[in-house]
Amino acid sequence: MVFLNPLVLLGLAAAAIPLILHLLNLRKLRTIEFSTLTFLKELQQTKIRRLKLRQLLLLLIRTLLIVLIVLAFARPALHGTMFGGFGSHANSTIVFILDDSFSMAAADERGELFKQAKEAMNRLLELLKEGDEAFLVRLSDLPKASVEPATHDFAALKAAVDESLVSGIRRPMSEALRVAGRLLLLSKNANKEVYIVSDMQRTLFLENPGSRKGLDIADSTFDSQVKFFLVELGSKPVANVAIDSIEIRTQIFEREKPVRIFVSASNFGAAAIHDYVTSVYLDGNRTAQGSLSAGAWGSASKEFSATPKRAGFIKGYAELESDALEPDNRRFFTLYVPERIDVAMVANSPADTRFITLATEAGKSGENRTLLDIQQTSMQRFPFLNIENANVLLLSNVPSFSPGDADRIARFVRRGGGLILFPGNEIQPENYNTVLLRALNIPPFEGISKADAQSSLSFQNVDLDHPLFATVFEPRDQTKRAGASRIESPAITSFVRRQTGKQGRTLIALTDGSAFLSEYKIGEGRVLLFSVAPNLAWSDFPLKGLFAPLMYRSMIYLSSLGEAVPSFTVGEEPTVSAKRSQSNGAQYTLVAPDGSAELIRPAGQSEGIASSALSFRLNRLSAPGFYEIRGGG
């Protein structure tokens, strides 16, 4: 026998209360004066003995009542029949749910909670009898059971418990109860029991915040014959603050340029926190620090600014100051700062890209001098251009496209490439509408319009929240939200009249309501479509201060999409893509956060992934940190 709530046994001291009251009543002797004893019957000795026996029985009943009430609240766990070896034993099917989430790494005056959990599990396993069967469900192994099918080898079950470790994987208790319900549904035994060994943290019941113990989940998952036993660990709530999420708000990354990092944290404690130190690290160096404050069970957030010092993949994390639970104090992220951007420019003549080339040269300064690698070619040589090796494809004043050319461009964009499209005097709108724009699922051109200097169009609205404009203008100017009022608008005399459509986003709108610059997300890539040619015949846009930074940032923005670094949560089984190794027959290795490596095989090439990349289906991620896929000969 074990007691699931042993502290309640202290209430057995209350069993002495009836005895004390009985003794006090014996001492209370009252003297009553009578005028005569004529009418008093003689008390017989047998009646006196009967009265004393009644008083003793009453004392015994009162004492047993208190003892039984205390034992009931202490929740004794019994197995077999009341008479032990006498009579038949009804076989039982038991599901043990072991909470191995990282909150079990906390400690109280009795030591680490997870160590206490394993000791409690071992005591429960000792109660199993021949003919019983048992399952083990660790929260980290969900949605599968840790031991399934049911086992009669209790020594092996005990070994599985002893080998259990605290895990970074967190799953809700409701999912464990659903698995337990499925396992018990297959059992033919009369006795069915579920034992839950947990610290019963509030976060385990996020799906059912109104029921901390999960009893409503149990009522809806199990029949009335299933018995539940709870071993709740921890003498007091654990004060814990955790980082919930990290959002990288900057989308264009450059060396020595600040990156905006938004950090959100939650307080899982009954006391408010004040000035909780939070730091951001890049490549292991602290680059930003601040403080957070939150009320009880509240949340807080703060934006940090960190500056990468080099190009390439940069490992970063946000970290809180130490508390009772360390695993959730740190959250990881990765940045990719382009080392080189390959740009393929295709134009009808060199004059169609002259101002664009000058703009990109102006953007090359300091560390960014070798960032853009531009290759220019004509449309006649486009069929021989390997655009798969380019990050960005720029088309300017290309007269027309064949269906084969349009399909190549569409595949390039869908697989993560960036496309910048400029019109010109030589373009054939009908060909664009029926071939290229149809392949890209972009609304058609309505035609080319011209205006004189007096009726020229200008900018009406600019989406300054877009990454292309995010750091171009000083944020201190509160008129920023006014749109085009802060931007020197060009005088536009010729333009392609068109509407962005529901598929895209208008970044710059003209005074007649049509679009000047639109963005379209197509597959894994994006398209930036301008309505004017990059020359002075259509507008003086190339002479405006916005032109050079917009051209330069557009190329960086579009190139970064193909190098986006995915992030996952511990416990997921993700599918990721990585660049194909240059050597034939190369082997690929997944390096885990602890430095261990395992060989992995590509799952093949799927739609939406460039031919220079491979898809990998990874096993369940078991630890937080950085995972790297490396290819070698």
pLDDT value of position 342 = 93
Q: How far apart are CA 502 and CA 522, in angstroms?
A: 13
List the structure tokens of 344.
């393929």
Average pLDDT for the chain: 84
Superfamily designation of domain 341-561: Class I glutamine amidotransferase (GATase) domain (3.40.50.880)
pLDDT tens digits for range 484-532: 456 788 999 999 999 999 989 999 999 888 999 999 999 989 999 999 9
Q: How far apart are CA 450 and CA 514, in angstroms?
A: 14
Specify the DSSP element, H or E, that contains 206: none
- What pTM, to 2 d.p., does this model score? 0.71
Is the pLDDT assigned to residue 166 strictly greater than 70? yes
Q: Which of 98-112, 216-230, 351-365, 442-456 has the lowest mean pLDDT?
A: 216-230
pLDDT value of position 416 = 87
pLDDT value of position 248 = 92
Identify the residue with better confidence: 5 or 123.
Answer: 123
Q: Is domain 78-232 given the CATH code 3.40.50.720 in the classification?
A: no
Q: Which residues pair with 101 in a beta bridge?
A: 167
pLDDT value of position 626 = 93
Query: Which candidate, 528, 529, 522, places its Cα nearest to that of 608?
Result: 522
Q: Which of 434-438, 607-611, 629-633 has the lowest mean pLDDT?
A: 607-611
Q: Which residues pair with 336 in a beta bridge?
A: 313
> Rg (Cα) of the chain, in Å, rounded?
37
Residue burial 157-180, b: 16+ Cβ < 10 Å; e: rest: bbebbeebebbbbbbbbbbbbbbb
pLDDT value of position 62 = 85
pLDDT value of position 212 = 45
Fold match flag (78-232 vs 241-337): no
Q: How far apart are CA 492 and CA 453, in angstroms?
A: 8
List the structure tokens of 338.
């382009």
Q: How far apart are CA 311 and CA 368, in angstroms?
A: 10
Identify the residue with better confidence: 603 or 431.
Answer: 431
**Domain assignments of the chain as residue spans, ordered by start:** 2-34+41-76, 78-232, 241-337, 341-561, 575-632
May I ask the CATH architecture of the domain 241-337?
Sandwich (2.60)
Is the pLDDT assigned to residue 80 strictly greater than 80? no
